[in-house]
Structure formats: structure tokens, C-alpha cells
Structure 1
Amino acid sequence: MKPRPEWESESEPESPAERTSRFVPLRRDDARPVSAPRKPEASAPASGPAPAAQQPQAPAPSLSGAERTRQQPMPPRPPLDLLAELTNTPPPPETPVRTAVRRVKIWTPLVLLLLIVYAIVQEVRPLPTPGLELSADPTYTFDGGDPTLAWPGQGQSAVTVDGVGSLGTEGAQKPAPIASVAKVMTAYVVLKGHPLTGKEEGEKITVDQQAEDESKRAEESTAPLKKDQRLTEKQLLQLLMIPSGNNAARLFARWDAPNEAAFVTKMNDAAKALGMDSTTYTDPSGLKKTTVSTASDQLKLAKAVMQNEVFRQIVDTPQIDIEGIGGTIYNNNTLLLQPGVSGIKTGSSTPAGGNLLWSANTIVDGKKLWIYGAVMGQQAGTGRVYDSLQQSLDKSLKLIQDAQKAVTSATVVRKGDVVGYVDDGFGGRTPVVATKNLKAMGWPGLKVELAVTGNGKKISNTATAGTAVGLVTVGSGAGKVSAPVALQQDLKEPTFGQKLTRIG
């Protein structure tokens, strides 16, 4: 066998043992003790290779760290320790400064990301709807002292101006008999169940025998009714209110309800709904002294029933001729001939004395205002009911005339006055001004309320000066008056900084 050339032997690949012998362990626990070098054996005879038993054995290759890891998992190591092992560099010592720097490097990008997200959310977040707020005084008091009214001096009385307020009361407001004034509630209940408007006459009502028999009672005020007469609802209302027919009241009760008791229940339910807490009805005509009320309660009923135009026309009728009823019928309320007086109902009896629930009007700045009053419990001292009724009429007329004189007007808000502001929801306040003068009705010493409200349209987050954004109002109810309000200057959209710092 020819010996190998020297160049060939040098290029021979390394054996696994040779590669393994060059591995430099990175950890102390990977090192293996090196066995002592074996003594060289006697050279083989030149005539041929040494016997197989005498040839040197290559050492077994040691396991690398990766191979050992696959066989036996190593516990997790801190990153710096692992880096030190890979670079043969020990980790730097831990210090507070180094810890703080490392935390800053880790958390700063996250915090910056959160801030960016927060800013975007605040920018695209829907803006709050601007609101109107009052900045002017919430009340206005008319100049002068309280008006002087000629109160009757006995019984109980009350006066109010519809939509404006009460002019006052006199006497204890305690339940007392009201006599035929009770018929106002009878008419109210009938019209609630069977409404009439304009020139409507309503349903036909047949007079029964009881109504005819009751028309012959001399001790009561009655209407001349005959059995089987056919009267319209409006005609029977006229007989109820103008001559104050007790039999007409009872006929209405039997027509509208199964019986008179059921109708009386309706009357009391209506009184409760109107807030007449001191009122009790026990019959539809008021003849019974157990039908009681107060002057203040009757004003609540007056304001409600006078909303019906047919009723207003009937109670403002001094005299009337009704088809089928012989002769002219005269109203007991003789005040209807006085300027501005327009109703409502008289009532008199020995227990009740003379009573009058009245309505009147006055014109202020071209506008009609309704005044309602009640005078109850007037006793003439003569023993005659008629004299007590006349006294209630006389006392009421003086009260009416004083009330008509007391009502006046005043300019509460002037054009250009700053009355409020628009709150943009970010603390910004844009003033709003009245666009015209605003007059209110009242009387000396009266205190009325002011408010600014919306005009039914949503206020935009941006608007130019002069844009109408709402109303300024004075008073309440039917007497409330209002004027538009507009921006005094431009309403600007909130800045990015305001959006960014918005909390709510």
C-alpha cells in the first residue's frame, strides 16, 4: 500500500473528536476533566500496520451545551447573566440610578403612546350642547306700594288677574255655603262631558215630569220647564245660569249621569282635579247648605270654566228670550251692565248670605286682561236674602273697579340688555341680549319672575353675533310675555387645549 502524499493528509477533514477538542466552554459547570495523555506505544513494524488491538482509540466526543439543554431543560436565567455568559463579561452591578434609567427606557414609549391616544380621543369626542343661563335678576318688582282695594269687610273675598297673579284675599278662607254659585261647577262638568264651541247648540234634552213639578216651587229659583219639552244643551245651560234654575241643574244631572248622586260624584272629582281642596259638593244646584267652598277655590274654577267660549257668552248675557220659554228671562247679575264686567254667577240663601263669583276685564297697552273675583258671606242684616245678594253685588262692583285701575304695565327688559349667556360646556360664556323691549302686566308692588329659555332649536357650537338662540320671559301662565334673545358676540368652537383638558 502506497503511503499518502503529505498534501493530501493535510487537507483531510477534521474528525468529530478534533472539533470537539477545540470547544471553549462558557460556564464552569460545562468543563470536563482532561484525562492524562496516553503513553505512546511501540512503533509498529515497518512491514505493515499495527494490529487492530494496538491501534489508539479516539476519545468519545463530549456533549455540547445545546445538546445537554435538549436533554435536561435549564432554569430561566436573567438576561444580563445570559449576556454575560455569551460574551464572557460579568453583568454590571445593580444601582438605583441604573434601575431608574432602565425603567424610564421601558415606560416612556408606553406613556407617550397613551398620551397620543388620549389626545386623539379628546379631539374627536362629541362636543357638549351649549346651554342658556340667566344672568339678569331673576325677579322684577313693579314700582310703588301695594294697591288699595275696597274689600267688603265681612265674609271672605279673593281677587286674581289671570296669568299674572293674586291681588290678595280678605277674610278666613274656610269652607262656607255657596248657594247657587254651585251651578258653575254643574255647567263645567256638563261641558267637559259634552263640549260646545262656536255656534253649536248641542244635543236635544227632553224635560221630564220631575223638572216640571220642581218648576212650581215658590221657595226656589227655577226655570219654567214643561214635560216633554225638547231643549238643546245650550238652551238648558242658559236656563241654568241666567235665571239660576235649580230644576235645570237637577235635570242636567239626571241627563249626564245615571242619577243625581253619580253626577255629584263627578262634581267633586272635578273639584279635586282643579285643586279645590276646601270644596265639597252635595247637590247640583247648591240649595243644600252642605255644599261648601272658599273664595280662593272658586277662583280656580272660574279660570277653568271661562276658557269655554260658549259659557263666556252665556254668563255675559243680561237678558234673553228662549224659544219655547214664554217671556224674557233676566239675569240676577245686574253688574253685567257695568263697563268690563262679564259674569259669572250669583248665589244667595239664608245660610250662605249673598255671594257673587265675578269676572271682569281691563285693557292695558291694547291687551285684554281677565280679572276674577269672589265675594262670599255678605249679610245685610235685614233678614231678607235679596238684600244680602244686593250687598254682595255692591261690594263686588267697588272691588272690580279698584282691580281694573290697579293693573298696569312696565318695561321689564329693554332692547340690548344683557339678560343671560350661552355656556359652551368648557367654561366659556357668550353674552345674549334682548332684541326688543319687553313689557309685562302687573300692579304696584307685584314681583314677577324672569327666565331665559330655548326657542325650540338646538344651539350650535359655533355661531355669529346676532344669531337668535332663545327667549327671555316674564311672568307665567296666560300672562307670560317673551322676547327673543341673540348672541352679543361670536360663539367660537373650543380650542384644542380646552378639548384636551376636558374632564366631564
Structure 2
Amino acid sequence: MGETTGEAGTVPERARDPRVALYEAPGDEAGTGGEEPSPNGDGPAGAAGAAGSAEGGDTARTAVREPETREPEETGEPEKAGEPEAAGEDASAGGDEPAGGESGAGPVDQATAVFRTPEDKAEAKAGTGRTDEDADADAEEADGGTGPAEDRDPAEDGGAGAGPVDQATAVFRTPEDKAGSRAGERTGDGGGGEEAGADRPVDQPTAMFRVRPESASEEPGSEDPGEAADPGEPEKTQEPEKAGEQAESDAERTSRFVPLRSADAPRVPPAVVSPEQPPHTPGPELPEAERTRQQPLPPHRPLELLAELTNKPAPPETPVRVALRRIKIWSPLVLLLVIALAVAQLMRPLPAPELVLTASATHTFEGDEPTLAWPPEGQAVLEVEGLGSLGSYGEEKPVPIASVAKVMTAYVILRDHPLKAGEEGPRIPVDAQAEKDAGLSAQGESTVEVEEGEEITLDEALHALMIASANNVARLLARWDSGGSEKAFVEKMNAAAEELGMENTTYTDASGLRKDTVSTAADQVELGKKVMDYEAFREIVKKPSYKDRNGVSHRNWNGLVPYNRAVGIKTGTTTAAGGNLLFAGEKEVGGTTQLIIGAMLGQHKPPIIDTVIAESRELLVSAQEVLKSEKIVAKGDVVGYVDDGLGGRTPLVATEDVSAVGWSGLKVELALTDGGKGVPHTAAPGDTVGTLTVGSGPGQVKVPVAVRGELAEPDLGTRLTRVL
């Protein structure tokens, strides 16, 4: 390292160990020329204290330094009168034997010197047996008789401590540091400054423990002499009274600081670094009275210290403790999760109960297939609505159907203009074409008399269409429905046929007079089942006759009505088409009313109208005869159960005997339904909760079913453990 040479002397810089810097005191009472008397009572405060510090009790630092070889520099004459040689001898003697007697022997602990209170200093003076007057006299002698130490500006003391000032630590230096620095600058190269203070640079890490005097920063224009002063320029001095007050105030303030050293850390005695004594050699200890009262240095950071003070030491880790700790952590979370799931399960709506059939889903009637009275020619199809087909006869191919086409005309009108049984419906104005077409009766067409400008009700128009088979009224309804266009209405008729699945049917007019209006017996049966769903239509076609608005009676061309329980539907005869009839009849069996629908086409034996009616009657009667009823479920038999959706099952029993209607070889289907009302969640034993059905359509058999035991909601455990 280089050296810094000033007017007061030369202070070489040496390497420091930063690991022990935290234990060094920021103020060097003896080595820097502080205001307090030296513990070595036989020398002045400046020169003797600095010398004793250099060899026997270096109170300015505890860092271990390597011995170094120094050559004394030649310096000029001291500015003030003094005894440099005597001061050097005193300094040399202070390293071998402590000055000041028994009470002052021993090195001062540098880590606590900064925090000594005025009482500590007073005890130190008392231990040496010296008074303030003696110390002042010694100081005056060392300084050449310039006055007592307390009355002088510390900067004027030219003893130990002179040397370069560390700017990083100048702000926090204690009054003793600054007084010693001033003294070193004043003495220049005399008074032991070279030996006691020249080889002691300020340790940078200790700056954090030094306190800057308040007077230096509070007074405007004030500047710490040791902070940036040039060693070659004389230092400005303070008035003696202010310097004494400032030193006393600084001493009181520094007594409140707590040193950052642990209570159980070993005390490190100051090391004296000199050519005569090797490093790490501890000096003599001071008596107990000279030591500074101190608090333990925190060994860790504040949060770690707080944890050590408030928490008990953790027990050693074992598998059992780890398991218990995990149980303590996870148990509340698991419990909270279980509670949340339980609440969610209880709040979930219950699934809707369902009826499940356990009885056989089908029933087949025993015996051979029945024999029916089929016609000798043409084609025919016979069905029981809801049960199935009784069979067919002839080749299924499109043929002219004549006035049977009026059934589709009535279906489209009722579909687009609904009419209830007994209602008259909207009024239809009669146009000139309808009146003109009424005169075609002379050419063999079926018509009714109407006049232009009058109005007829929809109910009367349907009567004229289905019973009197009036061609002029059929064309009038087509124009009225489609805005005056018969062609548009015919398109609607074909669209309806396609919707019903009548693949072999084509309509070219609304009356069926044209021979290119063709269909099959099977297609007409499908249309007959659909149109018979309209009550107003059924009430009309089952009448043998009706009277119009003028009181004129018109006979029903369907001669089956009202015989053999025939209920319709429509005849159609032309020379090209022959005799055609779409008919319907009923049969009471097994407590039900079965509807039989049949169609017979292409009967050309004259008279064709009588032939088709006679053949249709035989076929209808044979069908009524083959229908029979068989009991398939007895009263009280279990036919199914109520499924609550969570595994609960409540048996269902039939409330009366269940009979199926059919014929030999027929297979019918059974089902459980709730009738659209829904199955209840709770019910008492014997309460009706559904219906057992056999077959479909108008002849469907229906029997109520009831729960055999109590129907209750799922219990709490079932609701908590449900998955879906």
C-alpha cells in the first residue's frame, strides 16, 4: 500500500481483516487523541496515551495486522514546544507495563469503548487515582504549556492520531476520534504522532458504529475537521467551552447505543501490532470497573431472533411426527371438502321417478290365422286401429278412386280450418262457378243446389261434400281455401298425401271425377285412420242423411251406414273406376270399442255401387267376428315397479284384470305410462301412479296400476352417496 504524508506525520495504510471489523470501536480514545485522560496515568493525554496504545493496549482496533517494517521519516521541528523524545519513550513503556497503577492496568475493550457513559469514564479516572487537574497538567506539559486539555480545542493537540482521514467514516466518528485527529494535525511530526498514530489507518467497516456530533451538522457552515481537511493546512479550532460541551453531549448520546455483539460470543482482546510484539498477542485486561456495560449482539437477523425468542425449538423429525403433522394439516381441509360435498349432494334435485314394466312386453293370441270375406276382384285392405292389419287382398297398384278423393279434400280443409263437432264454422260465399256447376247433375254428376251471392257454413259444406258427394261444393271449397285457385289446392292435396306416406297416390282434382286421380287401398286406409281423428268428421260421415239450409234432405251414398255398426266413410263410383268404398265400423270387445277401417277398390260388377257396398259389408262383418279378448294380467299381479333413480324400487300391481283384444296369431304390446302427469316421489300403499296399456289407437286397453307398498323418497345416506 502507499503512504499519505501530511504536515503532522505519515500514516501508512495497511490491510485489514473485515471479519473482525464489526467488533472494532469507532472511536480510539488513546490512539486518536481523545478528550478523556489515558488509563496510563504517567503520561499526558495526547502523547503518552497514544504511545501506550501503540504497544500495550491499542484501544482503537482489534483487527490482526501483519507486522511491517517502517522507516521513520525525517520531519521538521514541531510547531509547538514539546518533548517528542520523552513522548516516544512513554509510548514505548506503555506497551510493557500499564501506566497509572493497578486500577488502570489492562487493555480497553474497543468494541465497547464507544458506548461508555460519563459514569464509566468517571470510574476510570477514579481507578487511576488521578484527578482532572492532574490530567490537565500532564496535557499542558505535553503541549508545551498551552493550557488544560478541557480548555483547548482538540484539534490543537498534536499527539497521536494524526494521519489521513477516512472520508467514509468521518460522518459517524465519535468526539474522541475527531479530537485525536485535530491533535495529530496540530502536533505535526512531533509528540509521538509518527509512532503511535502514523501506522494506524481508520478501518472502513467500523464507520457504521460511529456517531457524528450533532454540532458539526447542525451549525451552518460547520465542517468536520477530519472529514475532508487537508493535512497540510492548519485546522480551525472551536472555542474551549463549546468543545467541552460538545464532548459531554456526544458521550451521553453514545451511551444509548447497543453494540452488535452476541452475549455468548467470546470477548476478543485488542491486538497490538508492533515490531516488538507479534500479531494476535492479547494485552492485559482492564479491571471490571473500566469495562463498558453492554448488551448482547444479536446473532441473526431480527426475524430469526424473534423466532428464537418466541418459539420453542422444533422437536426432531420422526415418521410419526411427520404423519401427525400431515394429519393436522390435511384433516381440516378434508373435513371442509366433505361438508361441501354433502351440502351439494343434499341440495341436488332428486331424479324423476320412472315406471318400469316387469311383465311381458308383448302378448300373442293363440290359434290359427282368421279367415275373412275378401272380395272376388279388385283390391282390399283391412285394419283394426291400434292393433294392426287383418290382411289384404289383390294387387296393390294405383287405380282411379273417383269420389273417394273427396276424403283428402275434407282432410286438407279441416287441417287448415279446424272445426269442432256441432260448430258451423266460417261462412263460405257462393260464387257463380258453384251455381253453374250445380247444373251438371243433368250429366250424371252429384251436386247440390246453390246460388251465387249466398253464403253457406263450413259445416254444411262438409255435409254436402261427404254425404251428398256434391262435386260443385268440392270445387267451391278448393277455391275458397286457396284464394280462388283449384290448382293450388290440388298441390296441397298431393303434399298432404306425401306427408302421410301415401306413396302410390296422385290427385289431379278436388272431386275425383278425373280418372287420373289414382290411389291404392292401403294408402286410403292410412288416410282413413288419420281423418277419423277429427271428431267433426266422424260425426258427419256416420249419418245416413242430412238436410241442407233450404230443408232439402240428402241421402248418404254409403249404404253401409248405419247397419252392422258401420260409421262411414265415403263411396266413389265411375265407369272408369268401378265401385270404390273407404269404410269404417266398430266392435265392442273386452270392455273396449275397436275401430275397423277398410278399403275396397275396383269393383266393376253392376250395379257397381251396390256391389262394392255388399262386398264391403261382408268383409266388415267377418272382421268383427274374429276379434276377441284374452285376459293376460289378473288383478293384484305385479306388473312393474317405480324406480326413484337412486336404486329404490317400489312394486306396482294391476288394480283390475287386464284383457287384450285381438285375433288368433296377433301380437300386441304392453306398456306402463304415467298419462303425462308424472310419477310422484311419495305415495301411500294402493295409490294409483300409472296405467298399463295393451295395444294402441282407439281400441287400446287401459288399466290403472298402484304401488303395493309405501313410495318414499331416497334416504339421507342414499342421497349423500349418489353419483349421478
Q: TM-score higher than 0.5 here? A: yes
Residue 279 (structure 1) aligns with:
505
**Do the aligned partners of 2:590 and 2:661 also contact (CA within 8 Å) in 1?**
no
Report the equivalent of 1:338: 563
Look up the SS of the partner of 1:335 in the other structure.
coil
Deviation at 1:119, TM superposition (A): 4.5
| 1:482 counterpart letter in structure 2 | K
Residue 262 (structure 2) pairs with residue 33 (structure 1): no
Matches within 5 A, 1:275-424: 275-308=501-534, 311-318=537-544, 330-336=555-561, 338-365=563-590, 367-380=592-605, 386-424=606-644
1:65 equivalent among 298, 301, 306: 298
How far apart in 1 are the matches of 2:325 and 2:426? 94
* Aligned-residue offset at 1:227: 5.0
Question: 1:222 is aligned with what amino acid?
Answer: S
1:286 deviates by 0.9
Higher strand share: 1
In 2, Cα distance between equivalents of 1:390 and 1:220? 17
CA displacement 1:355-397 (0-9 Å, x = unmatched): 11112222325654322110112344xxxxx444444333222
- Provide the rounded CA distance (Å) in 2 between the counterparts of 1:251 and 1:172: 35
CA gap of 1:115–1:143, structure 2 versus 1, over 3 A, is: same
Out of 640, 645, 659, the residue aligned to residue 425 of structure 1 is 645
Residue 113 of structure 2 corresponds to none
Shift of 1:23: 5.9
After superposition, the Cα gap between the structure-2 partners of 1:139 and 1:64, relative to the gap in structure 1 and judged at 3 Å, is: same
Paired with 2:284 and 2:462, the residues of 1 have a C-alpha distance of 147
In structure 1, C-alpha distance between the alignment counterparts of 2:708 and 2:511, rounded to whole Å: 60
Map Cα deviations across residues 407-451 of structure 1 (whole Å, 9 max, x no partner): 222333322111111223331211111222233433233222222
Q: For the Cα contact (< 8 Å) 2:438–2:450, is it kept in 1?
A: no
State whether residues 269 and 283 of structure 2, in contact with CA within 8 Å, keep that contact through their aligned partners in structure 1: no
* Residue pair 1:198, 1:309 contacting (<8 A) in 2 also: no
Q: Distance in 2 between the 1:96 and 1:365 partners? A: 81
1:367–1:449 CA distance, 2 compared to 1 (3 A): closer
Q: Which has the higher contact order (CA 8 A, sep 6+)?
A: 1
> What's the C-alpha RMSD, in Å, of the aligned pairs?
4.3
Residues 309-345 of structure 1, C-alpha deviation per residue, up to 9 Å, x if partnerless?
Answer: 554454445456657598x755443333632223222
- Decide whether aligned partners of structure 1 residues 459 and 262 sit closer, same or farther in structure 2, where only a CA change above 3 A counts: closer
Q: CA 1:182–1:119 in 2, change beyond 3 Å: closer, same or farther?
A: closer
- Mapping for residues 49-198 of structure 1, pairs under 5 Å: 58=291, 61=294, 64-65=297-298, 69-70=301-302, 92=316, 99-100=322-323, 102-119=325-342, 121-122=344-345, 125-152=348-375, 154-192=377-415, 193=417, 195=419, 197-198=421-422
Distance 2:502 2:285 in 1: 133
Residue ranges of structure 1 left out of the alignment (5+ in a row): 1-8, 44-54, 381-385
**Which secondary structure state, in structure 2, belongs to the residue aligned with residue 296 of structure 1?**
helix
Change (3 A) 1:22 1:397: closer
Write the deviation string for residues 195-234 of structure 1: whole angstroms up to 9, x where unpaired.
Answer: 3632748636436256435634665423264654857345
Distance of 1:390 and 1:324 partners within structure 2: 29
Distance 1:23 1:255 in 2: 114
In structure 2, what is the Cα distance between the partners aligned to 1:352 and 1:249? Answer: 19
Distance 1:224 1:98 in 2: 107
- How far 1:493 sits from its partner (Å)? 4.5
Preserved CA contact (<8 Å) 1:470 1:484 = yes
Q: Using the alignment, how far apart are the partners of 2:341 and 2:441 within structure 1?
A: 89
SS in 2 for 1:339: helix
Question: 1:251 Cα deviation (Å)?
Answer: 3.2
Name which of 461, 479, 487 aligns with 1:254: 479
Q: 1:296 to 1:458 in 2, by over 3 A?
A: closer
Are positions 1:445 and 2:665 aligned together? Answer: yes
Q: Which residue of 1 aligns with 2:702?
A: 482
> 1:176 touches 1:294 (CA, 8 Å); kept in 2?
yes
Aligned partner of residue 64 in structure 1, secondary structure? coil
Q: Aligned pair in 2 of structure 1 residues 492, 325: CA closer, same or farther (>3 Å)?
A: closer
Cα distance change on mapping 1:325 and 1:260 into 2, 3 Å = farther
Does the 8 Å contact 1:303/1:372 carry over to 2?
yes
Aligned residue pair count: 459
CA deviation string 1:284-315 (max 9, x = no partner): 11122221222222123323433455544544
Alignment match of 2:439 (pick from 215, 221, 237): 215
Residues 123, 155 of structure 1: alpha-carbon distance in 2 compared, 3 angstrom cutoff: same
Aligned amino acid, residue 65 of structure 1: P
- SS of structure 1 residue aligned to 2:659: strand
The answer for the alignment partner of 2:427 in structure 1 is 203
- Structure 1, 109-118 or 184-193: larger mean CA deviation: 109-118
How high is the TM-score relative to the length of structure 1? 0.75
| Alpha-carbon offset, residue 405 of structure 1 | 0.9
Secondary structure at the counterpart of residue 483 of structure 1: strand
Taking a change above 3 Å as real, the CA distance of residues 366 and 139 of structure 1, as seen in their structure-2 partners, is closer
Give the counterpart letter for 2:497 in structure 1: A
Change (3 A) 1:231 1:239: farther
**For the Cα contact (< 8 Å) 1:162–1:303, is it kept in 2?**
yes
2:448–2:468 contact (8 Å) kept in structure 1: no
Preserved CA contact (<8 Å) 1:130 1:422? yes
Aligned to 1:52: none
Structure 2 counterpart SS, 1:334:
coil
Does the 8 Å contact 1:146/1:444 carry over to 2?
Answer: yes
1:34/1:402 CA distance change after superposition, 3 Å: farther
Contact 2:592 2:701 in 1 (8 A): no
The one-letter code matched in structure 1 to 2:489 is F
1:77-102 per-residue CA deviation (whole Å, 9 max, x = no partner) reads 9x9xx79x976x9x74x666664454
CA spacing shift, 1:502–1:277, aligned 2, 3 Å: same
The structure with the larger Rg is 2
Tell me how far apart the structure 1 counterparts of residues 324 and 428 of structure 2 sit (CA, whole Å).
100
Report the counterpart of residue 44 of structure 2 in structure 1.
Answer: none
Residues 477-503 of structure 1, C-alpha deviation per residue, up to 9 Å, x if partnerless? 333332322221223444444334322
Letter in 2 for 1:414: A
User: How far, CA to CA, are the matches of 1:157 and 1:353 in structure 2?
Assistant: 14
Give percent identity, aligned residues only.
46
Cα pair 1:220 1:246 within 8 Å, conserved: no
- Name the SS for the 2:502 alignment partner: coil
Q: Which position in structure 2 is the counterpart of 1:470?
A: 690
| 8 Å CA contact 1:451, 1:472 repeated in 2 | yes
Distance 1:434 1:300 in 2: 34
